[in-house]
Structure 1
Amino acid sequence: MEEHGDLPRAGRREWLAMAILALPCLLYSMDLTVLNLALPELAADLDPTPAQLLWMVDIYGFILAAALIPMGVVGDRIGRRRLLLWGAFAFGVASLIAAFASSAPMMIAARALMGIAAATLAPSTLSMVRNLFPHPEDRSKAIGVWIASFSAGGAVGPLVGGVLLEYFWWGSVFLINLPVMALLLVLGPKMLPEARDGAAPRPDVASALSLLVAVLGLVYAIKKVAMDGWSGEAGLALAVSIVATTLFLHRQRRLAVPFLDLDMFASPRFSAALTINILGFFVAFGMFLLMALYFQLGLGLTELQAGVASAPSGVAFIAGAIAAPAIASRLGTVALMALGFLVAAGGFALAGAAAASGDLTLMIAAYCLFSLGLAPVFTMTTDVIVGSVAASHAGAAAGLSEASTELGGAFGIAVLGSLLTMLYQLALVDHPQLAALPMNAALGPDNAGVQIEAARDALGQALKVAALLCSAIAICGAVLSLLLRGRGGLQTDTQGG
């Protein structure tokens, strides 16, 4: 175990700064989900085409995923606090435009701007955690709070959105961003220290654009396959991503000071943590989607009821994230990650049993269990990622951490979503008229009696298989964590694992 007695410990000011950093994290995750509830009213008011409606939902996540790494690198150069405050200002402006959008193109543009602004928030806040908390024990606790704030935003997003839409118009789901961002702009300059790498390269436009295209093309291809299956459009997007990645790597080798220091990947700890992070978010995001579908289509809950049913899992996730550093100090990072994966595996198996029986209470318990198990995994991998690089590269590492989250989640949604659809249709082999219908039509309010019971049973059986697959993947995650420890990959500064 390495000693860190010479590193300063966090005090009251640092923890107050951490509370400020949690504010944009809440909104970052809330805005990934809050629009979903407002879509019916928004569609009736702006009259978008089906393609425009899809872009209103997707453009935020697409742009966000593509811009995370470049924004992290830019923050290292110009200053993480400066980037955070400019991003908060832009996010507020974009939210205001979205709230009063008068046409579908205007809404799409506003959501795209929100995605660019949001891409400054996560890397900036995470890299500032690295600077505020140099002592590994304090940093682990702070990252637990950072992870918990994202989970809290995801948990309260549907609830807040449901309440606002009950009493106000759809634009209110965007206006709630303004007071939070205003508070950040007032308190940030006073409470948050500036940190930058004076030796960092000037932002290289060609590198930034090629990296944006590479990530955007990959995420778009994955989501296109998830929605429509393999197509020429998905293939073209993937090809563009491969070409852009090749050009980016070639340019980094030619630059005297590369835009992104690829030597970070030479660190076994860094690369191992990224791998585990992708695997964890693969099962997490995939099951989050399937649970939302099952609550509404399989059990017939309304959007607000589904949000209420999902809320306890958010509480479990927060508890797991905050408790992770204390448990890791006793068990070690790798042991905690393996244990977290095993707890999640149990939760996924329980979700499979609940899906087979249609038991809502059991399903909520399963949701809580796998959320509780995965939270320490994400807390520890994030800690290892930002702690395994020099402070000067904290922004780039934070951007890579968040990008791995988005990519793992996109893969999970694509693979598990497609698997669920295939299994659902196979389960309806004796009901070809139902298998021919879209899932939301077969399980919608216009269907009843024997037909809807058959469709719900098919969905339950499909979810059971998908959940058991996630359980097996989580067990593999536990084994992989232990194997990587044996190769020196996943040891942190606070414990030898």
Structure 2
Amino acid sequence: MSTTTARRAGPREWGGLAVLSLPTVLLGLDVTVLYLALPSLAEDLRPTGTEALWIMDAYGFLIAGFLITMGTLGDRIGRRKLLMIGAAAFGAVSVVAAYSTSAELLIGARAALGIAGATLMPSTLALISNMFADARQRSLAIGVWATSFALGMAIGPLVGGAMLAEFWWGSAFLLAVPVAIVLLVAAPVLIPEYRAPQSGRFDFLSVALSLIAILPVIYAVKRFAKDGIDGPTILATVVGLAFAVLFVRRQGNLTSPLLDVRLFADRTFSAALSILLVGLVGVGGVMLLVTQQLQLVEELSPVEAGVWMGPPALMMFVAAIGSPLVARRVRPGIVVGVTLALSTVGYVLLTLVNATGGIVLVVIGFGLVYLGLGAIAALGTDLVVGAAPPEKAGSAAAMSETVQELGLALGVAILGSLATAVYRGDIDDEIPAGTPDGVAEAAGDSLAGASSVANRLPPGLLDQAKEAATSGLNVATLVAAIGILTLSFLSVVALRHIGTIGDDEPEDSEAVPVQHAGSEI
């Protein structure tokens, strides 16, 4: 390790962090706003069921598929340059999405938004790692960055609900335009440019292999969540895994790989990625079920549900900001282990929720779940990026984001499928003979289906459907509690070799600063 004291960030870097947080807030907000806009959007564009599914999923598919590519591309051409290109594209395509006149056009716009969105997260995170060379400052900055996504998700129902009350559904997409303008104006002033030295040529075959590896796996996970294990799910999984093997083999033979697989040899890097993956599985599944509980069981409007989700978002904010500060005196492994143990308490509380008057218990339980999420999002991401050489920061950031995207998707698939199985097992015996086939099929499929035919259900069946859905929540969160408690213990063991943040000075950066922003304090 170098004995040179790392340069501390000044006011300009902290201003740059505020700018970098804007696209992260935007991406979080985009997740929840579209759910609000979907009913009026469907009424206007009249998409088929398949088209409606692709309107929702095209964005996430393309983000997940292009994260690794964009993270490495930023290392090569310049991280600020890629961020600005992506922000400009995101703003422009958002206008196209807002004024779409057909479902096909909107699907295309959503896919393009996914590709543009894939440039934003790795670029912002890699730039933070360059701007904040001091380990303690970097850890705190990543904590701020990690809360931005949760903030966007929390304010999405409030901002989106207010806009949709006054304007048409497309106004939800136009929220991206002012954010893109502010970033494009402020980035050259507050954010330095960095690119890796001697980055070599960009390997387009590796890009193709990464897409053919990631996209089928994401598709399989999403299909499993909807239809269970079937032929297409198995085929997509096999195809994805086969191309993943080819991708990894090619990376090992390249002098300038798209993804440096040698990063996985670092136990800090691998352990932190594993913790992020498993931790996000629990959060992803429970987030879906809690949202359903508030809107379908408690019958809250999206805006009201958004208000109740405010306290959990605050808990995540506290953990993401507080855990890096605590980790300056307590080893990160212990901090992560303790917060995940507290998260386990939250999952257990959710197992006790019933179908009548459980809002407060839901919010408290989910708040504790988010407490653990804040800690692993901040410390886990910091450990992943910090373990990589500076010239590989973009690639490491992309891996962190890819793992988290996969964890969320797996959580929805695994825990969502478990909750659905419990629901169907409970409700099947409650549907009386003589119920019309279409009504019985809708009620037997899901609580959302039962709610859609509520006026045609036999008396009391909707209440029984709510109880069945709540039982699904209880069982799924019990399984998640066992998994997260196990992860709590394993985190302490896997990260035991890491000292408190700032114990050792980081090595001098090898990245090439094209423009230096900020002064020392």
What interval of TM-score do these two structures reach, taking the shorter chain for normalisation? over 0.9
Q: Is 1:485–2:484 an aligned residue pair?
A: no
Instruction: Give the aligned partner of residue 507 of structure 2.
Output: none
**In 2, Cα distance between the equivalents of 1:140 and 1:378?**
11
Deviation at 1:4, TM superposition (A): 6.8
Deviation at 1:485, TM superposition (A): 2.9
Deviation at 1:237, TM superposition (A): 1.6
**In 1, Cα distance between the equivalents of 2:458 and 2:375?**
43
Deviation at 1:395, TM superposition (A): 0.2
> 8 Å contact 2:297–2:355 — kept in the other structure?
no
What is the TM-score when the length of structure 1 is the normalising length?
A: 0.96
Instruction: Give the aligned partner of residue 459 of structure 1.
Output: 469
Deviation at 1:240, TM superposition (A): 2.1
Letter matched to residue 97 of structure 1: V
Matches within 5 A, 1:29-428: 29-355=28-354, 358-428=357-427
**In 2, Cα distance between the equivalents of 1:260 and 1:3?**
26
Letter matched to residue 59 of structure 2: Y
Instruction: Give the aligned partner of residue 436 of structure 1.
Output: 444
Deviation at 1:323, TM superposition (A): 1.2
Aligned partner of residue 198 in structure 1, secondary structure: coil
Letter matched to residue 379 of structure 1: A
> 8 Å contact 1:384–1:492 — kept in the other structure?
no
Deviation at 1:253, TM superposition (A): 3.0
**In 2, Cα distance between the equivalents of 1:397 and 1:202?**
19
**In 2, Cα distance between the equivalents of 1:142 and 1:240?**
39
**In 1, Cα distance between the equivalents of 2:346 and 2:458?**
31
Cα pair distance change 1:320/1:256, threshold 3 Å: closer
Cα root mean square deviation, aligned: 1.7
Deviation at 1:71, TM superposition (A): 0.5
Instruction: Give the aligned partner of residue 468 of structure 1.
Output: 478
**In 2, Cα distance between the equivalents of 1:297 and 1:314?**
21
Cα pair distance change 1:320/1:485, threshold 3 Å: closer
> 8 Å contact 1:88–1:121 — kept in the other structure?
yes
Letter matched to residue 482 of structure 2: A
Deviation at 1:295, TM superposition (A): 1.1
Residue by residue over 1:388-447, the C-alpha shift from the partner in whole angstroms, topping out at 9 and shown as x without a partner, is: 111100000000000000011111110000000001122225314566344312244424
**In 2, Cα distance between the equivalents of 1:157 and 1:6?**
41
Instruction: Give the aligned partner of residue 10 of structure 1.
Output: 9
Deviation at 1:257, TM superposition (A): 2.7
Cα pair distance change 1:90/1:4, threshold 3 Å: farther
Letter matched to residue 161 of structure 2: G
Residue by residue over 1:118-141, the C-alpha shift from the partner in whole angstroms, topping out at 9 and shown as x without a partner, is: 000000000001000011000010
Cα pair distance change 1:440/1:387, threshold 3 Å: same
**In 2, Cα distance between the equivalents of 1:455 and 1:294?**
12
Letter matched to residue 439 of structure 1: L
> 8 Å contact 2:330–2:500 — kept in the other structure?
no
> 8 Å contact 1:387–1:493 — kept in the other structure?
no
**In 2, Cα distance between the equivalents of 1:4 and 1:370?**
40
Residue by residue over 1:435-473, the C-alpha shift from the partner in whole angstroms, topping out at 9 and shown as x without a partner, is: 634431224442474211211111112211111221111
Letter matched to residue 196 of structure 2: D
Number of aligned residues: 493
Identity fraction in percent = 40
> Which deviates the most, 322-331 or 187-196?
322-331
> 8 Å contact 1:298–1:443 — kept in the other structure?
no
Letter matched to residue 32 of structure 1: V
Cα pair distance change 1:330/1:406, threshold 3 Å: same
**In 2, Cα distance between the equivalents of 1:443 and 1:169?**
25
**In 2, Cα distance between the equivalents of 1:114 and 1:439?**
31
Cα pair distance change 1:437/1:476, threshold 3 Å: closer
Structure 1: stretches of 5+ with no match in the other structure: none
**In 1, Cα distance between the equivalents of 2:357 and 2:330?**
37
> 8 Å contact 2:143–2:320 — kept in the other structure?
yes
**In 2, Cα distance between the equivalents of 1:291 and 1:166?**
24
> 8 Å contact 1:356–1:464 — kept in the other structure?
no
Cα pair distance change 1:358/1:87, threshold 3 Å: same
Letter matched to residue 184 of structure 1: L
**In 2, Cα distance between the equivalents of 1:492 and 1:330?**
6
Cα pair distance change 1:43/1:443, threshold 3 Å: closer
Aligned partner of residue 468 in structure 1, secondary structure: helix
**In 2, Cα distance between the equivalents of 1:6 and 1:122?**
28
**In 1, Cα distance between the equivalents of 2:503 and 2:342?**
22
**In 1, Cα distance between the equivalents of 2:172 and 2:231?**
36
**In 1, Cα distance between the equivalents of 2:355 and 2:463?**
13
Cα pair distance change 1:495/1:358, threshold 3 Å: farther
What is the TM-score when the length of structure 2 is the normalising length?
A: 0.91
Aligned partner of residue 169 in structure 2, secondary structure: coil
**In 1, Cα distance between the equivalents of 2:364 and 2:84?**
39
Deviation at 1:379, TM superposition (A): 0.8
Instruction: Give the aligned partner of residue 21 of structure 1.
Output: 20
